[in-house]
Structure formats: structure tokens, C-alpha cells
């Protein structure tokens, strides 16, 4: 048990040295624990490629996990061996890969999007508007800080997005007034925290050490702060984090039902709609790729299914 705890501590330390997010840390530790548990508590140094392959095959053939889930498990185990134990695994030639289904994204019409957004209220309406109007992922939106909103240039800067990349996207003009109102509320909460000598907002571990005063400074405050303080997983001190994604996810589900839409819609659907509607409006695919933060344009190409391909690009002979 002591040896296992030391291994977990080593993994956690290496993850933080590489500045991975706390969510990635929790996911990797979870998969490493499952890998060890699958092999009856054996230490990873006592195992190699065959045991890794057996675990991943178990996920694909018996657990029937999605391809993305198996890939995450593989990434966690490779991190353990390469970055923590400094062991190179042999290539997994007989690995059974979970099949990745080829699915087109669900996209709403402009009218359907308007109906969904009309059924969101308060902060949820503002978040929903940014998901659609700026093409943000949920976590990207919730992690926005005051300094990331540029009203002068009409831009939003997304920090440390998917793939640890920064990018700029459009700030919808219709969202400027609601955003300014939101920031005025956040300012009052921030001033209250300063009066009560609270430690401030959460920062990535390395930034908190580099800029010890930043958590209490206005530019670093979250645009969507949580109402209550929580404890930092790094220091144990009380901090103000951003709101959790569960609330907006539930709100969008309720709004979709209220709008009478019978499509499988989630928060991420609004990002799909952002890309698709821009392409429909005539914007070139490279511009959309940049706004979405896709590394490869082939990822963005999936949205062209609404233009001159597929069911919506063909006129039925019945008509």
C-alpha cells in the first residue's frame, strides 16, 4: 500500500511539473489505478507490454468502451511508463482498438438555436450565447478571466485550450452589454472577497507560484465565478473557482425540451452550430478552423456536410 501511494505521488508530481490540468491529473490517476487493480495490485515495474495490451483489450472487448475512452486509458498508461518510470513499452501489435463510429455532428437551424437560447435564463443565457456566438467549448467558456475579454477589438482570448493552445475568437456584439453587466457583478463579489481577506481565485499551480499576487488582482478573476469558496487541490486553501459545467449542461437540456426540439442536443452542439452557420454564411474554412482552434483543417471539414454534400445538398427526385 505504501509503495502504491509513493507511485501515485510520483505520477501527480510529474503531471504538475508538465503543467497538465487538474482534470487530466484526476483522469490519469484513475486509469492507472484501474490498470493496477485489473492485474491484482501488481506494481507497473513488474509488468510490461503484454499486461498493458491485456488491459486495453479488456476495455475494448469486454467493457465495450468508446474509442476515445480507450485512447485516454492508453495515454495515461504511456505517461506512467515513459514519464514517471522511464520505461519504453514495446509496440502493442495485437492491441484490439475500440471502433470509432463515424458520426456527423448534430446541428440546429438558426431558428432552433434562437429557441434554445430564449429558454435559458441569467448566467446560463450568457454562457449559452458565448458557446454559440464564439464557438467555445464549455470548459473554455467557464475558464474565461476578465483579462481574456477585449471589448475594444471585439475578441475573446481562449487560454490553454484543447492541445494546450491559445487562440482568439470573435466576441459577439450582442453579448457585449450582458457581459459588461456580468463583470460589474463579478467586480462586487471580488471587492467583497478583498474586504474579507480571501486568498482569491484559483490559478494553475505554476502560475500561482510565479505570480503570488495574481489571485487577488482584478484581471485574473473568472468571468463566471462560483458562488461559494472551495479548497484548492494543490494548497488546501480556500479559493474561488469558476462555476461547474453541470449547471449549464442541465440548463441546456431543459431549454431543448422547452423548445420542443427532438434532436440529441448538448452544450457542444452550440459549437457545432457556430461552425456550420459560419460556413453557410460564406466564410472560408480556414477562418472557421482558426476560430475553432483545430490543428488540422480536416477536422473542420466535417461541417461541410451541410453545404453541398449529403441530404441537404441534394434535391429529391420526388420534388
Enumerate the active-site residues. Answer: 137, 162, 268, 271, 294, 303
Q: What is the DSSP string of 261-312?
A: --S---HHHHHHHHHHHHHHTT--HHHHHHHHT-SSHHHHGGGGGGTSSSGG
Over its C-alpha atoms, the chain yields an Rg (Å, rounded) of 23
Within 134-238, residue ranges assigned H as helices are: 138-142, 176-195, 205-210
Residue 256's nearest CA partner among 245, 244, 268, 240 is 268
Whether 110 contacts 277, CB under 8 Å: yes
Closest CA to 23 of 233, 243, 197, 316: 233
Q: How far is CA 178 from the centre of its chain?
A: 24
Cell reading at 290: 482558426
Amino acid at each position: 500500500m505504501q509503495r502504491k501511494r509513493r507511485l501515485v505521488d510520483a505520477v501527480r508530481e510529474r503531471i504538475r511539473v508538465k503543467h497538465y490540468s487538474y482534470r487530466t491529473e484526476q483522469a490519469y490517476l484513475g486509469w492507472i489505478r484501474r490498470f493496477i487493480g485489473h492485474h491484482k495490485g501488481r506494481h507497473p515495474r513488474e509488468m510490461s507490454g503484454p499486461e498493458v495490451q491485456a488491459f486495453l483489450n479488456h476495455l475494448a472487448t469486454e467493457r465495450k468502451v468508446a474509442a476515445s475512452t480507450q485512447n485516454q486509458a492508453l495515454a495515461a498508461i504511456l505517461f506512467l511508463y515513459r514519464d514517471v518510470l522511464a520505461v519504453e513499452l514495446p509496440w502493442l501489435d495485437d492491441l484490439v482498438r475500440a471502433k470509432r463510429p463515424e458520426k456527423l455532428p448534430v446541428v440546429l437551424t438558426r431558428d432552433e438555436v434562437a429557441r434554445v437560447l430564449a429558454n435559458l435564463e441569467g448566467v446560463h443565457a450568457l454562457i449559452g450565447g458565448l458557446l454559440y456566438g464564439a464557438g467555445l467549448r464549455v470548459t473554455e467558456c467557464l475558464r474565461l478571466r476578465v483579462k481574456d475579454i477585449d471589448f475594444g477589438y471585439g475578441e475573446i482570448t481562449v487560454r490553454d485550450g484543447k492541445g494546450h493552445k491559445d487562440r482568439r475568437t470573435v466576441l459577439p456584439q450582442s453579448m457585449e452589454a450582458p457581459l459588461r453587466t456580468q463583470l460589474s457583478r463579478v467586480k462586487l463579489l471580488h471587492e467583497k472577497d478583498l474586504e474579507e481577506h480571501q486568498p482569491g481565485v484559483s490559478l494553475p499551480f505554476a502560475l500561482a507560484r510565479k505570480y503570488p499576487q495574481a489571485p487577488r488582482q482584478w484581471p485574473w478573476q473568472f468571468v463566471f465565478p462560483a458562488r461559494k469558496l472551495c479548497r484548492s487541490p494543490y494548497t488546501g486553501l480556500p479559493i474561488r473557482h469558476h462555476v461547474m459545467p453541470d449547471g449549464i449542461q442541465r440548463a441546456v437540456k431543459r431549454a431543448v425540451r422547452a423548445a420542443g426540439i427532438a434532436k440529441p442536443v448538448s452544450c457542444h452542439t452550440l459549437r457545432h452550430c457556430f461552425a456550420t452557420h459560419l460556413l453557410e454564411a460564406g466564410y472560408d474554412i480556414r477562418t472557421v478552423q482558426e476560430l475553432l482552434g483545430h490543428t488540422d483543417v480536416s477536422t473542420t471539414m466535417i461541417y461541410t456536410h451541410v453545404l453541398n454534400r449529403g441530404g441537404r445538398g441534394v434535391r429529391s427526385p420526388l420534388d
